[in-house]
Structure 1
Amino acid sequence: MPAAPAVKPRTPATGLPTGGAGPMHDKVAPPSSFLTGGGEMGALMRAHDWSSSPLGPPEYWPQSLRTVVSLMLTSKFPMFVAWGPQLAFLYNDGYVPIFGAKHPHALGLPFREVWSDIWTDIEPLVTKALAGEASFHEDLHLVMERNGYPEDTWYTFSYSPVRDETGEIAGMFCACTETTQEVKSRATLKAEQDRLRELFQQAPGFMAMLRGREHVFELANDAYLQLVGHRRDIVGKPAREALPEVQGQGFFELLDQVYSSGEPFLGRSLRVGLQRKPGTPAEERFVDVIYQPVTDKGGQVTGIFAEGYDVTERVQAEESLRESEARFRNLADNAPVMVWVTEPDGTCIYLSRSWYEFTGQTPETGLGFGWLNAVHPDDSGWSGEAFRASNAAHEPFRVEYRLRRADGTYRWAIDAAAPRFSEDGTYLGYVGSVLDITDRKEIEDRLSASAAEFRTLTNAAPALVWASANDGSIIYMNERWHEYTGQRVEDAIGFGWTAMMHPEDAKRILPYWQHCRETGETYEGEARYRRRDGEYRWHTFRALPHAGPDGAIEKWFGLSVDIHERKQWDEHRELLINELNHRVKNTLAIVQSMASQSLRQVSEENRPQAKAFEDRLFALARAHDVLTRENWEGAELREIIKEVVEPYLRQKTKHIEIEGPRLRLIPRTALAIAMATHELATNAAKYGALSVPSGCVFITWTITSDEIPRLELRWQERDGPPVVAPTRRGFGTRLIERSLATDVGGDVRLTYEPAGVVCVMNVPLSDEGGAADHPSRQ
């Protein structure tokens, strides 16, 4: 905190400048009569011990100080004076309430010590005063600790410099008024005004204050601005200028009438066209509005207060409700069902035209509870009681009874209704419908008979017949299940049937079952089920999905057949085939070994023929390997070709491209094509495209769709050495033609085109000719 401002040194007793000659210099001061009549503070000053004070006794105070103190003590206005180097603090009776608990011990203490809690705030002002600059402050905020705790205070005051007899500034004088209550009152008033203004602005209804005969807008809240369009600057403008599109709609005339008559106006659901966005057509709105005249003290109308609500949504809702009711009646009168509506007490207040046409009743005979007279006598009693009980419980209502038609015949009908409730939960009655279900009941009877026939048929079947929901749970199992497994049918329903499946098969089959339900694929396979004697026996099963009207799968129907003996025979047959494959493979190996040993002594001149023979044996062995892996049931054409040309594919300089659709061949066709491909590859490696790095062979095939499907396989060489037609037909050519013609009934066209050798093989794919699994039959 800055030090107190310095003043010129003075003598302790007189407060006059040292070395100066004042009026009382070296003289005894007169009695302190200037303190007489100073009220409480005058008495305190007279009784105060000034011996330790820098001011000294009052009778020695300089005349300038005496004059200020005398003026201060006789004033009712709060004042204080701070004098001398330490700015000793002197104050009057009016200042006592400001001091609070600091009174009276603050008398004579330094200014800085007296108001240490606010010294930081007032020191700059004090400095100005001691520098000769007076200041005035209005409602200055100060946080003071005058009663032992900080409190917000406000003051209006002035600080003025006070000069002594020498003309030097010896202190400062303050006249002040505490305005704390006034400031707080103004703040409270402002807060209340702000609150009222905020309430005005945020009021749910629109409000506006119009002044004078021109109806100039003084105020308009947010709801009013939202009604007429936020972007409008209407305040300060006459109504006709602010809202020009309203001209001719009668509202300005109403304002004129209220202003001239002094009578308020109340209007409901008034239509008004407002241009709520610049450059757009006027938008239709509906308002409830009150124009209330505002008068002065003399009763003269000075303006109009307009308030109301935008009820466009309510009017539109009412209109929509009327339209909805009209649509409901039109829909109900033309609906294929008979529609009715009741009050909360159950009395019928509406019956659609179709009811009257069906029953022959009229509104006079059908409304109320008259509708029960059209119900069959045997059904009206119990159905009426059911209706009254449901209505009393406010529950849905649903019954089936016989209803008399206008021609006197009775038809089965279903009568159903749902309770209506208001937004607050009040029960409003029923809205119901009646539907002729005679035809449906006849269909249900036929379906019931059909279901009985289905159960009889499935129970007579030797297989296990079942049906499931799309979640996999069994919903029907024929009686053969219990006869076979010993498990009760009711225990098999749901997922109980899985307990009869072999645990190993259950782990495999159940995920597959879920997959089929998700994809819609046919569910088929083989699994073991436990017979009632405990033996697990193999079954083959197959199930197809059944779709509902919307195309979604609703159910699955399937059956399982015991194939245990066939399964054992298949295993035995597979064992025999494996043994045969093993023996054939060993036989080929022996032939290859014998050929190798026999041809070892062949002369160099006949070595190429011997090598060709060995290669043909190896090609035949490779084809046999493919068929052996498939249990001699057939082989994939692509796999056969790849296996034969595999020795050439290992050589990076050889280029062979293979392309064609999937085709599975029977064994003899596969062997014939394998040997033909081997001969072509061998010839190409010696003389054709495979004999040079740049050459390439294209092997392609297609399937024709004539009366008898045929395979057309094309071997074409390119970029090889120049092609010259041979002068004689070699063994390889005769082998290709003979094997395809004799074994499978095919034919071969071998041409020596300049671009490369082309061989086209045409093979029939009938079951007798060569297809084990033709795509057209998959």
Structure 2
Amino acid sequence: MDAEAPLPVLTEGSQAEPSLAAPIWSATPLGPPEEWPVSLKTAASLVLAIPFPATLLWGPEFTIAAYNDAYRRVLGSKPEALGRPLLQVWEEARDALAPQLARALAGEAVTVEGARYVILRGGGQEPEEAWFDYTFSPVRDEEGRICGVLNLGVETTTRVRAEAARQSSEGRWREVFERMGEGFEINEMVLDPDGQAVDFVYVDVNAAWERQSGFPREAVVGRRATEVFPRAETDYWVPLFGRVAETGEPVQVERYFAPASRWIEVIVYRLEPRRVAVLLRDVTERHRAAERQALLSREVDHRAKNALSVVQAALRLTRAPDLPSYMRAIEGRVAAIARAQTLLADDQWSSADLLTLLRGELDGLLDRHDGRVEVEGPAVALPPGSAQPFAMAIHELTTNALKHGALSNPTGRIAVTWSVEGGQTGRLRLRWAEEGGPPVEGPPERRGFGARVLDGTVRSQLGGALSLTWPRSGLTCEIDLPLEP
């Protein structure tokens, strides 16, 4: 460039002309522009031609000799910078910039990325965070000496803030993802050359997914489904997920997941082409509850029919000299059935506690005959099919003791003891022994309804053994029952 040629920065109509003309150059170390060396003029012209922020610093004080319109936007509302030292313009960043400028003036090209500064450039001079990528490059004069520094850069504040917002949003999403009570998985479909889904890859799963599915995260993430689960599962899930990924129509299914031995409820929806999100819940307990409810309903129906059959038999076979006696006998037998029914219902028809069942028949007697009736034995859970027949048997023994046996006078006593052989699925051996009642002269001459109930329930219904003996001291009844359901 000719030393006498006018400087482009001062050319008529230049966009930066007002800024460049503003300082009184003669009062600066650079002097009037017409006296600048060719190297300074050339570098200044180059700065104006650069489309992104650029500024030229000259001399040991790093005086700003030129900058372009893009750099003007970086300055914001700071006072005019031309002709002023850079470290004065950016006083708040001096500690970071000064060493970098010194390195550039010593001949080193300095590159800085992602630099964060707290700067003052707003109208109210409030500090603000800003981020920059920039370079400081040495500029030589005609004799090869380093006389200046070219500063090129771009402000990345908007990008950094957008990335921070994205990461914050992603962090919140990740927190929600991990805290969800429902299992969540993201899958990417694997397609064949014809575009048909043939597999899928687990992109991510959350902590609840591990709990709901029964599989650890590391066993599936990054792997194909066919590498993890048997064909019986993937042959079902791959086409289903593929259809959702293709059509965008969500699907909700409930299915038994054999690899984890669980029932799961699954909602599948498309995230983006070839990707689906899957929400799942372990509904095994709900299915079990439904199965228990169905079983309970069947059991209640079965037991109710049995109870009605027993009531019908009691009505048909009960004998009494008059109607009031007949009614008392029937009421007692039906009450025994009802108490057993209540015990079973309280335990959801799974079993009935033997001691509770005995107390139901004997508590009234204990109130009136304190200390005359003793019960002793280990905890025993009677199977549901045994509870009602056994209750009827105990009722008949109790009724007989009140009418004819040990409790028909003030001095009689009853001892009910039992033991279990072979554990809870073994055999129950119960002994009912009366003494102190009216002297017994031997077996009764007539086999009454009570004896028929005992024989029918213990032997016929329960498959047990029954022994009745009548020593002079009082009736002894021994019952041997299987405890298996």
Same-fold call, TM cutoff 0.5: yes
Quote how far apart the aligned CAs of 1:97 are.
2.2
Q: Map 1:225-624; keep pairs closer than 5 Å.
A: 225-226=210-211, 227-230=213-216, 232-243=218-229, 246-248=230-232, 250-256=233-239, 259=242, 266=251, 268-274=253-259, 283-292=260-269, 296=273, 302=274, 305-323=277-295, 405=327, 440=364
Distance 2:366 2:149 in 1: 117
Correspondence for 1:102: 78
1:69 and 2:44 are equivalent in the alignment: yes
Correspondence for 1:129: 104
Quote how far apart the aligned CAs of 1:330 are.
7.5
Contact 1:214/1:238 (8 A) holds in 2: no
* DSSP 3-state at the match of 1:177: strand
Q: Deviations over 1:616-643 (max 9, x none)?
A: xxxxxxxxxxxxxxxxxxxxxxxxxxxx
Q: Which amino acid aligns with 2:235?
A: F
Structure 1, unaligned stretches of length 5 or more? Answer: 1-22, 275-282, 297-301, 335-351, 361-401, 419-434, 448-778
TM score, norm. by length of structure 1 = 0.36
Structure 2, unaligned stretches of length 5 or more? Answer: 191-196, 316-323, 343-358, 371-485
Contact 1:215/1:238 (8 A) holds in 2: yes
Correspondence for 1:205: 183
* DSSP 3-state at the match of 1:117: helix
Contact 1:35/1:70 (8 A) holds in 2: no
TM score, norm. by length of structure 2 = 0.55
Correspondence for 2:164: 187
Kindly tell me: are residues 410 and 183 of structure 1, through their superposed partners in 2, closer, same or farther at Cα, counting changes over 3 Å?
closer
Larger radius of gyration: 1
Contact 1:88/1:108 (8 A) holds in 2: yes
Correspondence for 1:149: 126
Correspondence for 1:217: 201
Distance 1:56 1:84 in 2: 12
Contact 2:311/2:334 (8 A) holds in 1: no
Distance 2:331 2:266 in 1: 61
Correspondence for 1:35: 10
Correspondence for 1:18: none
Q: Deviations over 1:266-324 (max 9, x none)?
A: 565422222xxxxxxxx41111124557774xxxxx46544322212222333344455
Distance 2:298 2:187 in 1: 42
* DSSP 3-state at the match of 1:129: helix
Quote how far apart the aligned CAs of 1:108 are.
1.6
Range 109-118 or range 200-209, more displaced? 200-209
Quote how far apart the aligned CAs of 1:171 are.
0.7
Q: Which amino acid aligns with 1:136?
A: T
* DSSP 3-state at the match of 1:166: coil
* DSSP 3-state at the match of 1:184: helix
Kindly tell me: are residues 327 and 167 of structure 1, through their superposed partners in 2, closer, same or farther at Cα, counting changes over 3 Å?
same
Quote how far apart the aligned CAs of 1:172 are.
0.5
Higher relative contact order, structure no. (Cα contacts within 8 Å, ≥ 6 residues apart): 2
Distance 1:308 1:153 in 2: 44
Q: Which amino acid aligns with 2:41?
A: R
Q: Which amino acid aligns with 1:217?
A: V
Number of residue pairs matched? 331
Q: Which amino acid aligns with 2:258?
A: G
Of 175, 196, 208, the residue aligned with 2:152 is 175
Correspondence for 1:139: 114
* DSSP 3-state at the match of 1:118: helix
Q: Which amino acid aligns with 2:256?
A: R
Contact 2:225/2:234 (8 A) holds in 1: no
Range 170-179 or range 92-101, more displaced? 92-101
Quote how far apart the aligned CAs of 1:83 are.
0.7
* DSSP 3-state at the match of 1:48: coil
Q: Deviations over 1:699-749 (max 9, x none)?
A: xxxxxxxxxxxxxxxxxxxxxxxxxxxxxxxxxxxxxxxxxxxxxxxxxxx
Distance 1:439 1:34 in 2: 114
Kindly tell me: are residues 437 and 196 of structure 1, through their superposed partners in 2, closer, same or farther at Cα, counting changes over 3 Å?
closer
Quote how far apart the aligned CAs of 1:152 are.
1.5
Distance 2:59 2:360 in 1: 115
1:49 and 2:33 are equivalent in the alignment: no
Kindly tell me: are residues 294 and 93 of structure 1, through their superposed partners in 2, closer, same or farther at Cα, counting changes over 3 Å?
closer
Distance 1:329 1:412 in 2: 18
Correspondence for 1:163: 140
Distance 2:283 2:303 in 1: 29
Kindly tell me: are residues 333 and 39 of structure 1, through their superposed partners in 2, closer, same or farther at Cα, counting changes over 3 Å?
farther
Contact 1:234/1:242 (8 A) holds in 2: yes
Distance 2:363 2:277 in 1: 70
Instruction: Using the aligned pairs only, state the percent identity.
Output: 29
Q: Deviations over 1:542-585 (max 9, x none)?
A: xxxxxxxxxxxxxxxxxxxxxxxxxxxxxxxxxxxxxxxxxxxx
Contact 1:358/1:405 (8 A) holds in 2: no
Contact 2:7/2:45 (8 A) holds in 1: no
Kindly tell me: are residues 39 and 306 of structure 1, through their superposed partners in 2, closer, same or farther at Cα, counting changes over 3 Å?
same
* DSSP 3-state at the match of 1:241: helix
Distance 1:161 1:251 in 2: 64
1:92 and 2:77 are equivalent in the alignment: no
Correspondence for 2:437: none
